Structure 1
Amino acid sequence: MRTGSEPITARSPLRMRFWLSLWGLLWAAGGLTAFALVGRPGWAAACGVLLIVVLTDLIMVIRHIHQGPHYQPGRDVPPYEPVHDHHPSPRRRRGP
């Protein structure tokens, strides 16, 4: 729920996630290659799974960066009111 106290200069961490994903992609690919060359198939498979996860994250980050900024309400927009339930739940009486 929007509280109205969001910072004016809030920025998306997408660029940071992009560079961290690239760093992780390099390390996962390096680990996959190194473990495959020394004959450690378990560790190579773990690095391969990590490589797929990092690559998926990188694709999603690039997609979000290409979508561009989205509308964010300004300071003149009041906070949203919470949705009130129109059908109150029946209250149970405590009996003796």
Structure 2
Amino acid sequence: MRLVHPVRTGDEPVTARSPLRLRLGLALFGLVWTAFGTVAFALAHRPWWALACGALALITAVDVVMILRHIRQGPHYQPGRDVPPYRRAP
């Protein structure tokens, strides 16, 4: 039996939502903990661990900025009912 992967047909629910707000919440949670870890390791005189946490905090901060940018962009073009479905690849 051959498994067929579902192909986007253009009939997604009208009320579909993006998980960007959940991703933003998780990224902010990570940012708080990595910033806390940076400070805690710096105070504990563990410079390499503080540097590692600081690098993760920087990456997480960039992720937060990108998520906010995507949220502010709003919804993007989605084909309407008059656009035919994509053809399956051979």
Aligned 1:7-46 pairs, distance under 5 A: 7-46=13-52
Separation in 2, partners of 1:27, 1:33:
10
The structure, 1 or 2, with the larger RCO (C-alpha pairs under 8 Å, 6+ apart) is 2
% same residue = 61
2:66 to 50, 56, 60: 60
In structure 2, what is the Cα distance between the partners aligned to 1:7 and 1:79?
A: 15
TM-score by length of 1: 0.74
Structure 2 portions without partners, runs of 5+: 1-6
* Partner Cα separation in structure 1 for residue 77 and residue 45 of structure 2: 52
- Kept in 1: contact 2:37–2:50 (CA 8 A): yes
SS in 1 for 2:33: helix
Name the larger-Rg structure: 1
Q: Which stretches in structure 1 are left out of the alignment for 5+ residues?
A: 85-96
For residues 33 and 75 of structure 1, the distance between their equivalents in structure 2, rounded to whole angstroms, comes to 53
